[in-house]
Amino acid sequence: MIYLIYAFSSVNLYFGVWFFLNVTGVIQTSKYSHLANVCFALILITTALLALYVSVVNDRTSFALLIDGAPWIITALLLIGSVIFGDSR
């Protein structure tokens, strides 16, 4: 399970750093607003570092995996809800 935590944390850190670089202006590939990029960067970097800390220091791998997957689970639920209850026009 520790490898799943490393994989999820790597993905979260990659996307978090990518959004952070968009905020600072190093790369300019984002189609989202500045505030959205700041929020995405903070959420993804924080969850990745927190999950790594919980898994290494506290040795609670299942909780760390839940922390790592939380932003993706919430995003998937919001997208599914948007598709189901959204107006198709």
How does pLDDT run across 4-52, given as a tens digit for each residue? 999 999 999 999 999 999 999 898 887 878 888 898 999 999 999 999 9
Can you tell me the distance from the alpha carbon of 21 to that of 25, in angstroms, rounded to the nearest whole number?
Answer: 6
pLDDT band at 81 (very low <50, low <70, confident <90, very high): confident
Domain extent listing, the chain: 2-85
pLDDT of 78 strictly over 90 = no
